[in-house]
Chains A and B, each alone.
Chain A
Amino acid sequence: MAARRRLSMTFWIFLAPVLIAFMMVIIIPFFIGVFYSFTDWNATARTGGALQFVGLKNFTDSFSDPAFIHASIMTVIYTVINVFVINVLAVALALVVTSSLRLRNLYRVGFFIPYLIGGLILGYLWQFIFNNAIPAVGGFLPGFGFLADPNNLVLSRVGSSIAALVIVGTWQYVGYIMMIYVAAIEAVPESLYEAARIDGASQWQGFRLIMVPMIAQAFTITMFLTLVNSFKQFDVNYALTAGGPATMFMDKSIFGTELLALNIYRTAFVSNNLAAGQARAVVFFVVLVIITVIQVRINKSKEIEL
C-alpha cells in the first residue's frame, strides 16, 4: 500500500513540471483572457483606467461591427477554398513522389522547403511577385499585356487578393501536408494492391477502393491541420495584403481582405481596445472548436481498421 502511494507520488512529481508549465502558460492565461473579455481592460497606464465590468458589451459591439462580420465571412470563404486546394494538391503531390518517378526524393525536398520559410518573409516575397514580377512578365510577353495593366494587379482587388492568399498559403503548406500523405501511402501494404490486381482491378479502382480508405486516418489529421491553420491565418495576411484593398460593407469603408486573426490583432493593438480584441478571440476560439470537433467526428467515422 505504502509502496503504491510512493509510486503514485513519484508519478505526480515527475509530471509536475509539465503540469505546472501547462497551467502557467495555457490554462491560466486562457481563463484570464476570458475574464478580460467581459471588462473594459486596455493594458495601458491611462489614469482612471480601473477595470470595469461591461457584461456582454464587447461581444455585442463586435457582432455589430461591419469589419468583424466581413472578416468572419472572408475567413470562412478563405478556409473552405484553402482546405480544398491544399488537400487536393497534397494528395496529388504525394502520389507523384511515391511513384517510381526519377528524382522523386529531390521533389519531396523541393515541395517541403517552402514550409520552412516564415510566413512574413513569404508574404513580402510574393508581394514582390504579384506587384512587380507579374506585371514585368506582362510587359514583354506578347499576348500577356493585360498583366502589365495596373488595373489588373492581383493585389488591387478583393477577390484576386483572397486568391493570392490561397496561392501563397498553399505554396507554403502543401509540402507539409504532402509528407503526412506520403507516410500514410507508404504504410499501405503492397499485398492489398497485388490481390486487387489479380482480381482484375484497374489503377483507379486501386486508388479509390484501397488507397483512399486505407489513408483515411491521414485525412483526419490533414483536414484538421489545414482547417485550423487556414482559420488562424495571420502572417501571410499581414505581410501580403495587410488587409487591403478596402471595400464597402454595410455602408462603411473597411479593409476587404482582413481575415479574423488580423482583425482581432488590429482591434486589440491598433484601435487599442484589448478587451474587445479578447472578446473576438474568445468567439474565434469557440467557433474553431465547434468546427474542428465536427470535422474530426466526420473524418473519424470514415476511418477503417485493418
Chain B
Amino acid sequence: MKRYLTVAVLLLAAAVLFGAGQRESVQGITLVQNKPEIDAQLQNYGSLWTQNSGIPVTIKSVGGGSGADMGQQLRADFAAGEMPDIFVIAGIEDYKEWESIILDLSGESWNDVTSVAFTHDGRVYGFPVAIEGWGLAYNAKLLQQADIDPAALTSYGAYKAAFEKLNSMKTQLGIDSVVSMAASADMGWVTAHHNFNSLLSNGLPYGDLSVVNDLLAGRVNRQRLSEYADWVELLFRYADRTVLTTGNYDAQVGAFAAGRAVFLHQGNWVDPNMAEAKVTFDMGFAPHGSMHADTDGIFVAAPSFYVINKNSKNIEGAKRFLNDMVYTEAGHEFMVDKALMLPAFTNVDRMPTGQLSRSVQKWAANDKLYSWSQYYFTNEFRDQTLAPIYNQFAAGRINKARFIELMTVAFEGLK
C-alpha cells in the first residue's frame, strides 16, 4: 500500500511539474531599459500587462550614474547571446551600433499618433519612450523674492546680472549657491552631454546640424565656443564647490529640492525626485544663456527609443507590449501618472503632474525648442575626452583660455 502511495505521489508531482513546465512555455519577452527611476512603476505595469496578455515580461533597468550603463549592459548581453527582445537606443550612434538586429517598425499603428519616432532613411525603427527636456530649472519663489523675472533670462548678459544679484542676496534667500551644478568624474553626463549640447544647438533652428558637422570636421567657430565658455564659467563660478567638484546626482538635485540653490542644471526627469522630496515651491525651465544673443527656447527631444530585436523569439509579443502602451488606459496611466513622463503620443490626453514636465510641455506647445545634438558625438569623445576637461575647469585647475584651447584641440582631433 505504502509503495503505491509513493508511486502515486511521485506521479502527481511529475504531473504538476510537467504542467508547470507547459505553462511556462509561452515565450516571455525581456525588456532592458535605462531609467532606474521608473523601474518600480515599469515593473508594476509589466506584471499588469502580463495578466492581460498572458505573456511573461522581464524588465531590467540599468544606468543612472551607478553601475553599468545601457550600452555596457547590451554589449555584455550581446556577447553572451542573451540580447533582450526590447531595448533602448538613444540616437544615431546607438542605431549604427545595433543596426543589424533592429526591427523595422514602420507598419506599427502608433506611428499615426507621434511625430518623434526614431527614423532612419525614411523607415521607422524606434518607439519614442517619452519626450524630455532641460533648460535651467528655477525656483520661482526665490526668483520672486529677488525680484527677477524668469522670462527675461534668455541670454548670457541677463543670467550674469541675475546670478550676481542672487549671489549678493545669499543669506537673505537662505541659499548656499546660486546654481546647483555637478561636474565630478561620475557626473560627466551633466557637463559633457547636456551642457555640451548648448554649444551644439542653442539658438539654431530645430534639427540644424551646421555646428555639429563643423565640429565633427574639426572646424571650430571661435566666437561661438568663447561665448559658450563664458556660460560654463558662469555656471561653475556660482555653483556650490562641494557639489560641483565631488557631488553626485543626489547631492546636486537635493540642494535644489531643499531650496539651497535657485537654479538646477537638470531636466524634467527630476520630477519624481521633487515629488519624493515633497517640494512645495513653484518651478519651471528657463533657457540656457550660452550665447550673448537671445535664445528663447529649451532643449527638448525624445531622448530614447524602444527598439525590437529582430532575432527575438516573440516579436509579436514585443510589438504588442509597445502598442498596448499607446492604446490602453493602463498604458497611459503608466506613462503619465505613474512614471511621470511626457508621452510622445498625441492620443494621450492626461496632463503630467510634475511641474517641470508641464514646463517642458508649455515650451513645446509654444514651439520654442532647440534640438539635442550631443548624440552625434561618440560616448568615448564625450566621456573620456570632454568630461575631464570640464572637470578640470570646474575644479579651477585650468582657466577659461586653457579650457577653450583644450576644447579646440579635442575638436580638431575629430577630423
Interface residues of A (CB under 8 A from B): 43-47, 67, 124, 127, 130-131, 135, 150-151, 153, 155-156, 239, 241-248, 253-255, 266, 269-274
Complex contacts, B398 vs chain A, CB 8 Å: 248, 253
Contact of A150 among B242, B397, B406 (CB under 8 A): B242
Are B68's CB and A255's CB within 8 A? Answer: no
A246 with B392, Cβ < 8 A, contacts A44-B98, A127-B248, A269-B71 known: yes
Are B247's CB and A248's CB within 8 A? Answer: no
List CB contacts (< 8 Å) of B64-79 with chain A. Answer: 66, 68-69, 71-72, 75-76, 78-79
Are B392's CB and A271's CB within 8 A? Answer: no
Complex contacts, A150 vs chain B, CB 8 Å: 240-242, 245
Are B99's CB and A46's CB within 8 A? Answer: yes
Complex contacts, B36 vs chain A, CB 8 Å: none
Interface residues of B (CB under 8 A from A): 66, 68-69, 71-72, 75-76, 78-79, 96-101, 184-186, 240-242, 245-248, 251, 378-380, 383-385, 387-389, 391-392, 395, 397-398, 406
Complex contacts, B397 vs chain A, CB 8 Å: 245-248
A45 with B388, Cβ < 8 A, contacts A127-B248, A151-B241, A269-B72 known: no
A270 with B384, Cβ < 8 A, contacts A43-B79, A242-B184, A255-B185 known: yes
Complex contacts, A247 vs chain B, CB 8 Å: 388, 392, 397
Are A246's CB and B406's CB within 8 A? Answer: no
Are B247's CB and A254's CB within 8 A? Answer: no
A245 with B392, Cβ < 8 A, contacts A44-B97, A153-B246, A270-B380 known: yes
Are B392's CB and A45's CB within 8 A? Answer: no
Complex contacts, A272 vs chain B, CB 8 Å: 71, 75, 97, 378-380
Distance of A7 from chain B, by nearest CB (Å): 37
Are B380's CB and A253's CB within 8 A? Answer: no
Are B384's CB and A269's CB within 8 A? Answer: no
Complex contacts, A242 vs chain B, CB 8 Å: 184-186
- Tell me the complex Cα distance, A224–B367, Å: 64
Are B251's CB and A131's CB within 8 A? Answer: yes
A246 with B72, Cβ < 8 A, contacts A43-B79, A45-B97, A272-B380 known: no
Are A244's CB and B78's CB within 8 A? Answer: no
Q: Which residue of A lies closest to B403 (CB)?
A: A253
Complex contacts, B378 vs chain A, CB 8 Å: 271-272
Given contacts A150-B245, A247-B388, 20 further A-B contacts (CB under 8 A): A44-B78, A44-B98, A45-B100, A46-B97, A127-B246, A135-B242, A153-B246, A244-B184, A244-B391, A245-B184, A245-B391, A245-B397, A247-B392, A248-B392, A248-B398, A253-B388, A270-B380, A270-B383, A271-B378, A272-B378
- Tell me the complex Cα distance, A287–B310, Å: 43
Complex contacts, B384 vs chain A, CB 8 Å: 67, 254, 266, 270-271
Residue among B66, B79, B380, B388 having the largest count of chain A Cβ atoms under 10 Å: B388
What are 27 inter-chain pairs, A to B, with CB distance below 8 A? A44-B97, A44-B98, A46-B99, A127-B246, A127-B248, A130-B246, A131-B247, A131-B251, A150-B242, A153-B242, A156-B395, A242-B186, A244-B186, A244-B246, A245-B391, A246-B388, A246-B395, A253-B385, A253-B388, A253-B389, A255-B391, A269-B71, A269-B72, A270-B72, A271-B378, A271-B384, A272-B97
Contact of A245 among B66, B69, B71, B395 (CB under 8 A): B395
Q: Which residue of B lies closest to A265 (CB)?
A: B72
Contact of B380 among A124, A239, A273 (CB under 8 A): A273
Residue among A44, A245, A246 having the largest count of chain B Cβ atoms under 10 Å: A246
Contact of B98 among A45, A67, A153, A269 (CB under 8 A): A45
Are A47's CB and B241's CB within 8 A? Answer: no
Contact of B100 among A46, A67, A127 (CB under 8 A): A46
Contact of B242 among A45, A131, A255 (CB under 8 A): A131
Residue among A155, A244, A273, A274 having the largest count of chain B Cβ atoms under 10 Å: A244
Complex contacts, A156 vs chain B, CB 8 Å: 245-246, 395
Residue among A45, A253, A271, A273 having the largest count of chain B Cβ atoms under 10 Å: A253
Are A47's CB and B99's CB within 8 A? Answer: yes
- Tell me the complex Cα distance, A185–B401, Å: 60
Which 3 residue pairs of A and B lie closest in terms of their CB atoms, listed nearest first?
A244-B185, A150-B241, A246-B388
Complex contacts, A45 vs chain B, CB 8 Å: 78, 97-101
Are A255's CB and B388's CB within 8 A? Answer: yes
